[in-house]
Amino acid sequence: MVAFAFIPLILAGVYPLPSWAAPLAGLTTTASVQGIPVFPPVNLGLPNLCALPIISEICARVLALSDQVTTPLGVAQGTSDGTGANRFAVRYASAERWAASTVATKWALPNGSTNASALPLACPQPEVDPSTYTEDCLSMILYVPTTLNANSGVPTLVWIHGGSFISGSATGPGLDGSKLAIATNSIVAVMQYRLGALGFMAPNGATNLAVQDAINAMKFLEKVVPSFGGSASKITLAGQSSGAGLIRALLATPSASSLFQSAILQSDPIDYGFLNASTQTLLQSSFNQLIGCTASDMSCQKALSVDDIINAQVTLGDNAPNIDPSTGSAEPIRPVRDGSLITTPLDLTASPFPSVTKPILLSNVKNEAGPTIYGMFTESIGSSLFAPVCDASLGTDRTAVVLNSSFYNLTGVSDIRVPLEELGTDYVWRCPTWSLARSWVGHGGKAFVGVYVTGATYPANSDIPFCTEAGSVCHQDDIEIVFGTVPSPSAAQAALTKEMQARYKAFLTTGSPNAAGFSVWTEATTSGVNAHQLGGTPSPSGQVPVGACEPSFWGAAVDYDYQVYGI
């Protein structure tokens, strides 16, 4: 029995495989990581040795705790913070400036690091310290429960961060996926993608480089997740704000369809739609002028500093509404319906709307427009300004319909920021989300719709008094609830985190968010989206009121932006 005492140390990589055992595993050599001998299949790939009944239990127990995993691309080095999940940072793809990315062919730590605990640098973006970003930024972080083994076959949740396509990273506040991975018994992969001009404004006219980055992230995961105990066929995309918008772009990309089984879209500003090709051409022409490089002058493009590119990007964003009003000012740089990668607008203008099969989960927060309205107007506003403010966003015709409706009543309202916030939430986020849900289920898919009435103030909202008030749930306030990273959760926040993680676990596995011990979440239909209330005191129906998001108002009597501009 003394010999078997060394087996845990062999499997953990402390000792090399002894010569007498090599034939059992079909191996004749040992590998090493940073000079430490490692038995090559340290990732649970010990089918012959571990098949022996006398040590199979030891194999499962020891390998589950390993932070070194052998993948088809090489040995993955990870770290553990003692939470019950190991963290693996990795470069999933690489790309030359303004060229399509290519999937990594070997496992490598981000940014050339030799320290497995190092986190990836962000992609270049404005208004942050340049030392925190790099163009070599196509990286992700995998959070893997230590309980998994080679035969687990668990799902993978791929999180795509928000930031209006110009900011954010895999290391943003609240995005530690350890607790979410443990609670959902899944692998959580938090990825990043090229932002702004570097991801969407290639001078040669190539479009949607960032969308292709996300596709390559999924291709990379297909190759490696089985080594960590995941199933290559059980990938679900999840994201918030522009991250959800990027997922919508992937849902509109036929060539990406086989790479994921379902999608979760949190707070997607669907009102904006995708850019059309003609608008992209106008923006591209303006950008090329700003950087002073022609489409074919590669030496000029390569000579640009990152600062030059970001400064041109900021100028382009500021000027975009004047170049083409369909860009808007919130996300002027965004995915393009180019007809080759993204082939459908996937909205009410789609003719025809494509046949779909994937289940999707669509959610909003109660006060999506809170940061916009209360960040822009820091003092109370009288009712006389409601029409002018609406007109600035909606134009005269749409404003007239809104003012003549019963949905945004100004009677007795002393501060019109209240109805303005409600209007903004409906206009940009909630109602176009519900319109998508109706179209989705009408063409073959399943959709579940929800609204958060409990949240946790996200750091970006902490300076906005409205967003810190009891009862407010502003844009981004759902992120830490889902990830279970609320710093000091209240009882209500902890309960909602437990519920959402249970529902996400069910959705990843079955395509439905219904989980034992929680109320029934009814599927959306073409006539009623059945928006489930998330948090708060349950309503008798368990659903939030339809309000202005009925089919006859938004998207019909009042057009969304994508309808107005034909994009």
DSSP 133: B
Question: What is the residue type of 201?
Answer: M
The span from the CA of 383 to the CA of 514, in Å, is 43
Other beta carbons within 10 Å of 8:
17
For residue 489, cis peptide bond before it (omega within 30 degrees of 0) = no
Closest of 220, 198, 222, 221 to residue 209, by C-alpha: 198
- Our answer to whether residue 512 is catalytic in this structure is no
The span from the CA of 61 to the CA of 195, in Å, is 41
Which pair of structure tokens corresponds to residue 548? Answer: 């202005």
Radius of gyration of the chain (CA): 25
Strand partners, 78: none
91, 108 in Cβ contact below 8 A?
Answer: yes
- Pairing mode of beta strands 359-365, 446-452: parallel
| DSSP element (H, E) containing 433 | helix 431-442
Strand order in the sheet with 359-365: 79-80, 85-91, 139-145, 187-191, 154-160, 230-240, 262-266, 359-365, 446-452, 532-534
Q: Which residues contact 550 (CB under 8 A, 6 or more apart)?
A: none
Q: Which residues contact 488 (CB under 8 A, 6 or more apart)?
A: none
Closest of 453, 465, 442, 464 to residue 538, by C-alpha: 453
Give Cα separations from 507 to 3, 156, 520 (angstroms): 45, 11, 13
427 CA to centre of own chain = 22
The span from the CA of 309 to the CA of 291, in Å, is 7
The span from the CA of 526 to the CA of 438, in Å, is 4
Which pair of structure tokens corresponds to residue 489? Answer: 């959760």
Burial of 297 (0-12, 13-18, 19+ CB in 10 A): middle
Active-site hit among 66, 241, 262, 326: 241
Active site residues: 241
